[in-house]
Amino acid sequence: MFNLRFIDRPSPNYDPRARAIDLVVLHYTGMQSADIALKRLTDPAPLAGNYPGPWQDKDIDPMTVLGRVSAHYVVDEVGNIYRLVAEAHRAWHAGVSSWEGDPDTNGRSIGIELVNGGHDFGLPDFPEDQINALIHLLRHILARHELDASRVVGHSDVAPGRKLDPGEKFPWVRLAEFGVALPR
Stretch that binds Zn ion, among 20-28, 121-129, 133-141, 169-177 (CB under 5 A): 20-28
Q: Is 168 a catalytic residue?
A: no
Cβ-Cβ contacts under 8 Å for 106 (sequence gap 6 or more): 90, 91, 92, 93, 94
Q: Taking CB under 5 A as the rule, does residue 43 contact Zn ion?
A: no
Closer of 157 and 165 to Zn ion (Cβ)? 165
Q: How far is CA 102 from CA 15, 77, 86, 162, in A?
A: 18, 32, 22, 17
Which regions of the chain does DSSP assign to beta strands (E)? 5-8, 14-16, 23-28, 73-75, 80-83, 89-91, 109-114, 152-154
From 155, 164, 170, 180, residue interacting with Zn ion (rule: CB under 5 A): 155
Q: How far is the CB of 156 from Zn ion (least distance, A)?
A: 8
Closer of 27 and 90 to Zn ion (Cβ)? 27
From 165, 167, 175, 180, residue interacting with Zn ion (rule: CB under 5 A): 165
Classify strands 14-16 and 89-91 as parallel, antiparallel or unpaired.
antiparallel
Q: What are the residue numbers of the active site?
A: 113
Applying CB under 5 A, which residues contact Zn ion? 27, 155, 165
